[in-house]
Amino acid sequence: MKHRKILALALAASLALPVTAFADGDAAQAADITLWTYPIGSWGDSATVDGMVEKFNEAYPDIHVTVEYLDYTNGDDQINTAIEGGQAPDIVLEGPERLVANWGARGLMVDLADLWTDEAKEAIYPSVESACKNNDGVYYEYPLCMTAHTMAINKDIFEAADALQYLDEETRTWTTENFIKAVQAVYDSGQENVGAVYCSGQGGDQGTRALVNNLYGGTFTNAEHTEYTANSEENVKALELLASTPGINFDASIAGGDEINLFCNGTLAMAFCWNVAQEKNNAENLSFDVLPMAFPSESGEPQLCGGIWGFGIFDNGDEAKIAAAKTFIDFMANDEVQGVESVKASSYWPVKDLGNIYEGDDLMTEYSTFIPYMGDYYQVVGGWAEARTAWWNMLQQIGSGTDVSAAVEEFVTTANAAAAK
């Protein structure tokens, strides 16, 4: 992501503005609203969220917020059931692939254009802003935090195999050529399972997509996010390389979470499904040094998949609730004090320049290295759910010996048919 320089005084002035834009009148001051949140860091922890709601109620005592905690196993089903029953939550904390590309595309969400003031558009990174609106320019998400998904290596194994010479520890980057040399060195040292192209399901598929797209500079969709382009010559070449590289195994028995476990217990020497949350969550289980890395690219300049999380509002037809929900979002994301605490609760990074909010935190500072490498956020293209399924089916086919070009063409045909619906 290209960071823009923001005048400190201007930013400070915008952050210092009172959070009252949506609190005028009784409608925003007296309402019962519901917040359903996916487990984004400590936003899945009731004690943390209760504390933040208490801070909100110090400023807005007549807006009562009831919180429901979702997980990624059943959360979508819970929301879909609520939608069908006419009981959708007022606010959801999640990402553009759900808020914009799914529920927004289905006409279920409120247009948040009034939250997107000129000050907000100036402060929030452009690639984040573009992900929060559809192709018609309608904003269905107001963002809070973001991260860059990475890969990681077992530094101990790489050091023993004399493979650290093939990567840049300072920038955490490497070329495709040196990646292959490193894999070969680790494989030759006796580590047969260097890395796994996991494909039993869609879990962690951002890792396999980033791996394939980065190796030779391919793309997953076009720039307009209207068409899937994974059948490019670059991507075919990347998949053929992975399928022919000793030590890289296509494994249809595991998904991203399984790969993480195998990496943490030392079975795999590298993980493609990784970010700072994985290192934090598994800190007690790690008996080796983890070295997070950007995905290898031919030029050495990676384009990482990012995660963006923020708030959306379901249109339940109650203007008072909608106004109260906007007040809540504005406070959580834009209040000078609470905005920082809200981001910290996510264990990710701000979507605008708030300085180093993790000063003194060595791990978060280490992973901040990857934020400038964030590439296009393409997860808002139509047919996304069907494309994710078709992707891991394609990887399974390649792993079982199907011709790469044929498998990729089948993926693109399936995905673009879904996008055209």
pLDDT in tens, 3-32: 333 333 333 333 334 444 454 444 557 999
CA-nearest of 11, 10, 5 to 340 is 11
Percent of the chain with pLDDT over 70: 93
Q: How confident is the model at residue 207 (pLDDT cuts 50, 70, 90)?
A: very high
Residues across the chain: 421
Sheet-wide strand order for 270-274: 270-274, 150-154, 290-293
Q: For residue 94, give the 3-state DSSP assignment.
A: strand
CA distance 202 to 224: 24
Q: For residue 65, give the 3-state DSSP assignment.
A: strand
The dihedral formed by the CA atoms of 229, 230, 235 and 240, expressed in degrees to the nearest 10: -150
Reported pTM:
0.82
Query: What residues have CB less than 8 Å from 41, skipping those under 6 apart?
Result: 277, 345, 346, 347, 348
Q: Which residue has the higher pLDDT, 285 or 222?
A: 222
Is residue 123 within 8 Å of 281, Cβ to Cβ? Answer: no
Angle subtended at Cα 363 by Cα 360 and Cα 368, rounded to the nearest 5 degrees: 90
Res 294 pLDDT > 60:
yes
First to last CA, the chain: 31
Instruction: Tell me what the pLDDT averaged over the chain comes to.
Output: 92
Cα distances from 195 to residues 226, 245, 398, in angstroms, run 32, 10, 16
Q: Report pLDDT for 421.
A: 85
CA distance 4 to 47: 35
What are 56-103's pLDDT values in tens digits? 999 999 999 999 999 988 999 999 999 999 999 999 999 999 999 899
Q: Among 13-22, 90-99, 125-134, 249-258, whose mean pLDDT is lowest?
A: 13-22
The mean per-residue pLDDT over the stretch 108-128 comes to 96
